[in-house]
Amino acid sequence: MPNALITGGAGFIGSHLCGFLMEKGFNVICMDNLVTGQKENIQSLICSGKFKFINHDASRPIEIEEPLDWVLHFASPASPIDYQKIPIQTLKAGSLGTHNTLGLALAKKAKYFLASTSEVYGDPLVNPQPESYWGNVNCIGVRGCYDESKRFAEALTMAYHRIHNLDIRIVRIFNSYGPKMRKKDGRAVPNFITQTLEGKNITVYGNGSQTRSFCYISDLIEGIYRLLTSNATEPVNLGSQEEVSILDFAREIVELTGSKSRIVFNPLPIDDPKVRQPDITRAKKLLSWEPRVKRRDGIIKTLEYFRKKVAETAKEEKCSFVRVRPQTIENEQNFRLFSKLGFVRAPMHLHAELTHQLDLNKSEDENRSRNKAGYEVRD
C-alpha cells in the first residue's frame, strides 16, 4: 500500500483528503500543528491502522521514519481572518513549509503535491481565470501574506521540478465548502449559515455585487485525487463555474434555512476580490473532471452539519460549569442531591478516589467524603 504524508491533514480539506486516500488503500500520516486544524476532524480516523497523527509545524524541520510515496503539502491558514491574524506563520507555511516538504520528498524519492489557491490571481482583472493568467496581487496588502506565500510555494515547487527532476502536482483550489468547516472560519459559507441558524443578521461586505464560485468538498477531493494520479506537472484549477454574487448567495442561505435574519452591509475589506471564477478547461481536458454537486444541493448537506454544530454549542453553553467551594457540597446530603441530579463533576483523577470514599447507596453516617478538592457544579 502506498504511504502518504499530508501536512495540514486536520484542516477542512486535509481531513477529507486523509479519509479519501485511506479508502483508496493509502497509509496516511497526518501532520498538523492544530493552529487552524481541528482534532475532531480526524477523530474517526485515529483508530485505523492506516492512520497516524503527528502534531508538528511543517515550517520546522521534518523527520519521518517511514518510507513515503507521496508528500502532500496542505498546511497553511486559508481564511482571511486567520492569515491576517498570523501573517508571519502564514508566510512561513508557504516558504519554509514548502521547502521542508519538498526536501523530504526528494530525500524519500517520493512524489510531491502542492495545495495552492485561487488567491494567486489576487483581485483578478480577467474572468474566469485560466492558469495562464499571472494575477493582480498587492504584495504588501493585508492579503499579501497568503497570496504571496502561495505564489512563492508554486515557484519553489517548479524549481525543484526543473532542477531536481522532482515529480510534482500543483492544484489551485477555488472557494470550497462542506462539512468540517469551522463555525467561525470567517468565509462566506460558514459565516452565513451560522448567522442564520443562530438568528443573527447576515453580514455582507460591500454592496454584495462581488462574485464567488463555490465547489462542494466531495467534488474537490475527487479532482485532487484525479490530479494526484495523473501526469500533469502544470498548475490545475479546481473549482465550480457556477458563479453567484455574494448578495444573492446570502439570500439563498436565508431561504434554505427558513431564517428571518436580515442582511446587513459592512465596508468591503481592502483588496477583496471583486470576481472569482475558475476556467477549468485544463481540468476537463487532463483529468476529465468537473463538479457534479449543484450549489443548492451542497448547501443543504452542509446545513445538516452546521445545525448539529450549532446545537452542540447551545447545549454546551446551557450546561456551563461554575466552581464552588468544597465545603458547599462536602455535606453528604448536598453531595447526594447534586450527584443524583447529575450536577456534580469532579476532576477525572479523583473519580476512583470518590468511588472508594462515597457510596451513594449507604447512609450519611456510614459514608463520609474526605475529599478537599474543588468540584464543578452545573449552573
pLDDT at 273: 96
The pLDDT tens digits for 122-169 are: 999 999 999 999 999 999 999 999 999 999 999 999 999 999 999 999
Same domain, 250 and 329: no
Q: What is the mean pLDDT of residues 176-203?
A: 95
Q: Which of 83, 112, 121, 146 is catalytic?
A: 146
The pLDDT tens digits for 99-125 are: 999 999 999 999 999 999 999 999 999
* CA dist list (Å): 142 to 90, 135, 139, 271: 12, 16, 9, 8
Give the integer Cα–Cα distance in Å for 147 and 136: 10
Domain boundary among 292, 315, 338: 315
Find all residues with CB under 8 Å of 11, minimum gap 6, and list them. 32, 36, 37, 38, 41, 74, 75, 78
User: Model confidence at 318, in pLDDT bands (50, 70, 90)?
Assistant: low
Same domain, 26 and 63: yes
* CA dist list (Å): 159 to 120, 192, 233, 243, 276: 17, 40, 12, 34, 28
Is the pLDDT at 338 greater than 80? The verdict is no
Is the pLDDT at 368 greater than 80? The verdict is no
Is the pLDDT at 311 greater than 70? The verdict is yes
Same domain, 59 and 110: yes
Same domain, 36 and 131: yes
The CATH number of the domain holding residue 41 is: 3.40.50.720
- The pTM for the full model equals 0.83
pLDDT at 261: 96
pLDDT at 184: 87
Domain boundary among 265, 297, 315: 315
**Structural domain of residue 360, as residue ranges?**
319-378
Same domain, 334 and 298: no
The pLDDT tens digits for 38-50 are: 999 999 999 999 9
Q: Work out the percent of the chain whose per-residue pLDDT is above 90.
A: 80
146 is annotated as an active-site residue:
yes
Is the pLDDT at 179 greater than 70? The verdict is yes
Give the integer Cα–Cα distance in Å for 205 and 198: 19
